[in-house]
Structure 1
Amino acid sequence: MTPVRRRDLVVLAAGLAVAAWLLVRSWYGELPSLDWWLPAPLALLAVAEALAARTLRGRLADQRAARAGRAPRAGEAAARPVRLVEPLLVARLAVLAQASAYVGAVFAGTWTGVLVHVGPAADRVQAAGSDTVTAVIGVVCSLGLVAAALWLESVCRVPPDEDQPSGGVAA
């Protein structure tokens, strides 16, 4: 499994921003109102993935410390058992993180396209004011999802073995 390339996310978001701007520019009067709570599922998913990344990072650190025979982290009881992390769970979380990064990029581009159209019209058109607020919330929630997904993906990466020599030129 290869990690998500940030360049791909930026290109996807930029392309969809242009497409969304063109579509909203053409049919803005026919679109339903954009309520402020529309991006809320993105925010909930971002929070869930950030919490999963934080929890998984701690559990993996405890597991690595227990394997190495080191003392527990500062402020923790020595008798606390280490909860093992299932490798399949980590793989599933990595796939979820990659999918969420792309979904976040798609919505970031879409909300950016909406914002580019309704932002300048906010003082002229009454509906554009509330749509601007919704678009800003959408961009922030989408970028939060991308950030949480990339963090979760980085936590799921397998560190190199300390026992194995690093790859290099054979002598």
Structure 2
Amino acid sequence: MTPQPSISRTRPRDLLAVGLAAVLVGNLVIRLFYSSIPSLPLAAGVVLGVLGIAELVGGYVLRGRIERRRGAPPVDPLLAARAVIVAKASAVAGSFVTGLWAGVLTYTLPLAGDVTAAAGDSVTAGIGLVCALLLVGAGLWLEYCCRTPDDPDTDDRPERLR
């Protein structure tokens, strides 16, 4: 019998590593091509915020069903597994995009006083950064919400304090 792979929690250090690598990539790309690209669209960042809000709401609803609040129907295990996959993917993707927006912001913000386009792009990058962080938080929240009440990993206290 082969052991079943287990899905581990998303580690913050992994998200930080992805984000830091993306900061470098984003800053390098924007330095090389900033003069030849059009202004950054505001919708590029806002879309991630909308996805983050949807995941926050979905996590709350799913958590209620897992805990069987107010007679909620049980959650299909396959649905919960899919939600965990979406949560992990959202956290990693949000971390990457957060890094990209931070890389853009580190280049455009110092230029904002002298270049009109950089001022507008700084605002767009700031909004995109906040929305991408919202997606990271929502992904982590959804992952947390998918834990079962009897999951031993749910209690984060050390063994001696339980």
TM-score (norm 2): 0.85
Task: Indicate the residue corresponding to 1:132 in structure 2.
Answer: 122
Contiguous gaps of at least 5 residues in structure 1: 64-71, 73-80, 163-167
Contiguous gaps of at least 5 residues in structure 2: 1-6, 153-158
Number of matched residues?
147
Over 3 Å counting, the alpha-carbon distance change for 1:126 and 1:161 in structure 2 is closer
CA RMSD in angstroms, aligned pairs only: 1.7
More helix by share: 2
Task: Indicate the residue corresponding to 1:149 in structure 2.
Answer: 139
Structure label with greater radius of gyration = 1
Runs of 4+ in 1 over 2 A off after TM superposition: 158-162
Distance 1:105 1:37 in 2: 18
Q: What is the Cα deviation at residue 82 of structure 1?
A: 3.2
Do residues 17 (structure 1) and 32 (structure 2) align?
no
Task: Indicate the residue corresponding to 2:90 in structure 1.
Answer: 100
Cα deviations by residue, 1:5-45 (Å, 9 ceiling, x for unpaired): 11010011011101111121122101121021211221111
SS in structure 1 at match of 2:111: coil
Q: What is the Cα deviation at residue 105 of structure 1?
A: 0.6
SS in structure 1 at match of 2:44: coil
> Which of 28, 35, 39 is 2:34 aligned to?
28
Cα deviations by residue, 1:87-136 (Å, 9 ceiling, x for unpaired): 11111100000011111011000000000000110001010011001000
Distance 2:80 2:126 in 1: 33
